[in-house]
Amino acid sequence: MNSSHSPRTGSGFTAPAKKQLGQHFLADKYYVEKIVMAVDPKGDDRLVEIGPGQGAITFPLLRRHPKLTVIEFDRDLITPLTEAAAPLGELTIVHRDVLQVNFTELAAGGQIRLVGNLPYNISSPILFHALDHAAAISDMTFMLQKEVVDRMAAGPGSKVYGRLSVMLQAWCEVEALFVVPPGAFRPPPKVDSAVVRLVPRDPTSVGINDRKRFADVVRAAFGQRRKTLRNALNGVIDAAQFEAAGVRSDARAEQLEVADFIRLANLPHA
Ligand code: SAM
């Protein structure tokens, strides 16, 4: 089956889409404009776009903001991106796997703003990677599968509230912005997409004592989400700790607030 398309985006150049790199190029100017408006670049913002592709978002951003750094893994896109950007502004291209890019180093003591229509096959790893560098990021405007955005923004009691919701909401404010239909892309993905904004909280206000312990507790709690917490967290949290955290051990993970998980994980443990 041939998965390659050569779409017209009006963004300066076209290239065949590579499925293994999650390449679904945004081709609808209405949604490009909505994303650029959501980012709303200001004065000395340091914008970093993940996966510029054929530049659908890159070039409109560069027209608004004279400097932009992009991280792109596909070597076939580097030269065309460089050439098409030249008349517009200063584009710095980091030709690497985004998961290998140290955002803290990139921010060089300041903060960056992340933007991107993410490669959907690695969207969750990118989110967790960004969390590791949350102090160096002032905000993120990302497009992902709508189903993932629903999970990111879900609250307790929702069927899709889970590990991703708790981990992200502990470190960031999460706001789902708008839905983008498959027809806006070339080639169209099979699912709806959505744009989400994440604003990392001040790390000193998050209140998590030990990041790894927190991650372990949340993973274990949702690992068996149909079980009571007493069973799901057997060997991780004991009866006295439930008591001390003021959390009912006969509840299920999906009923707990983010703050409950933080209290449970902060308790002294063996
Ligand atoms: N921003 C473009 C647009 O909206 O049309 C392209 C978005 S496309 C969904 C995802 C982009 O991420 C592609 O350009 C792809 O080559 C790039 N990409 C995929 N995996 C990557 C990785 N590990 N590191 C950096 N870029 C990656």
Residues 6+ apart with CB under 8 A from 127: 142, 152, 164, 168, 198
Residue of minimum CA distance from atom 2 in ligand 1: 53
pLDDT, tens digit, for every residue of 56-96? 999 999 999 999 999 999 999 999 999 999 999 999 999 99
24 lines ligand 1 (CB under 6 A): yes
Alpha-carbon distance of 7 to 16, in angstroms, equals 8
Burial string for 52-83 (b: 16+ CB within 10 Å, else e) reads: bbbbbbbbbbbeebeebbbbbbbeebbeebee
pLDDT(10) > 90: no
Q: Rounded to whole angstroms, what are the CA distances from 131 to 128, 185, 234?
A: 5, 28, 27
Of ligand 1's atoms, which has the minimum distance to the CA of residue 24? Answer: 9
pLDDT(5) > 90: no
Looking at residue 1, its pLDDT comes to 35
CA of 96 to the centre of ligand 1 (A): 11
pLDDT, tens digit, for every residue of 185-242? 999 999 999 999 999 999 889 999 999 999 999 999 999 988 999 999 999 999 999 9
Residues 6+ apart with CB under 8 A from 52: 58, 70, 71, 72, 77, 81, 93
Domains of the chain (ranges, CATH numbers): 19-205 (3.40.50.150), 211-266 (1.10.8.100)
- DSSP-assigned beta bridge partners for residue 117: 143
135 in Cβ contact with 107 (< 8 Å): no
7 lines ligand 1 (CB under 6 A): no
Of ligand 1's atoms, which has the minimum distance to the CA of residue 71? Answer: 25
Q: What DSSP string runs through 99-110?
A: GG--HHHHHTTS
**117 annotated as a binding-site residue:** yes
CA of 24 to the centre of ligand 1 (A): 8
